[in-house]
Amino acid sequence: MMIFLFVFFSRQLTYDDMGFAVWSGREYTTRRVVSQAATWYQLVPEIHVYSDAFFDNSIELVLNESNKTNIIFHEFGHKGKHLIGSEWEHRWYYAQTRHLLTMADFYERFPNKKWYIWGDDDTYLYPESILNFLSSQNSSDFLVFGVSYCSWDSIAEIIEPKRNCHPFAQGGAGVFFSHNFMSSIAPFLRNCSEMFNDPNFAGSMRLAICVERFIGVDKWDMGTTVINLSPRLHSSNPLQETEKGVKFPLSFHRMRHTLLYKIWNATESIWIDGNEKDRHVSWDNITMSTFYINLGNDKKKMVLHWGFRMRIEHSEKTFIYAITRPEPVFEPGDKEKIKPIMYNQEFEGGVTLRYICSDGFDNDEMSFDSYLWPEKEGTAFLINCPKSKLFPVQSKIKQELKLIPKDPSMC
* CA pair distance 265, 394, nearest whole angstrom: 20
Give domain status of residue 338, yes or no: yes
CATH number, domain of 177, equals: 3.90.550
Q: Residue 211's CB: how many other CB atoms inside 10 A?
A: 25
Query: What residue numbers bound the domain in which 52 lies?
Result: 15-233+394-404
In angstroms, the CA 381 to CA 227 distance is: 37
- Looking at the fold, whether 294 and 325 belong to one and the same domain comes out as yes
Residues 182 and 300 in one domain: no
Is residue 68 domain-resident? yes
> Are 43 and 124 within one domain?
yes
Residue 249 lies in a domain: no
Nearest alpha-carbon partner for 118 in 13, 21, 45: 21
72 lies in the same domain as 169: yes
The β-bridge relationship of strands 403-404 and 70-75 is parallel
In this predicted structure, the answer to whether residue 30 has a pLDDT above a threshold of 60 is yes
Confirm whether 254 is domain-assigned: no
Average pLDDT taken over every residue of the chain: 87
DSSP letters of 375-391? TSSEEEEEE-PPPPEE-
Q: pLDDT tens digits for 2-14? A: 444 433 334 689 9
What distance in Å separates the CA atoms of residue 235 and residue 137, rounded to the nearest whole number? 22
Answer yes or no: are the C-beta atoms of 343 and 269 closer than 8 Å.
yes
Range 26-40 average pLDDT: 92
pTM across the whole model: 0.90
222 lies in the same domain as 362: no
Residues 108 and 213 in one domain: yes
Tally Cβ neighbours within 10 Å of residue 379. 23
Helix axes 179-195 and 203-214, enclosed angle (nearest 10): 100
**pLDDT of 101 strictly over 60:** yes
* Number of domains, the chain: 2
Measured between its terminal Cα atoms, the distance across the chain in Å is 71
Indicate if 47 and 175 belong to the same structural domain: yes
The verdict on 152 and 296 lying in the same domain is no
Burial 20-55 (b: 16+ CB within 10 A, else e): bbbbbbeebbbebbbbbbbbbbbbbbbbbbbbbebe
pLDDT at 55 (0 to 100): 86
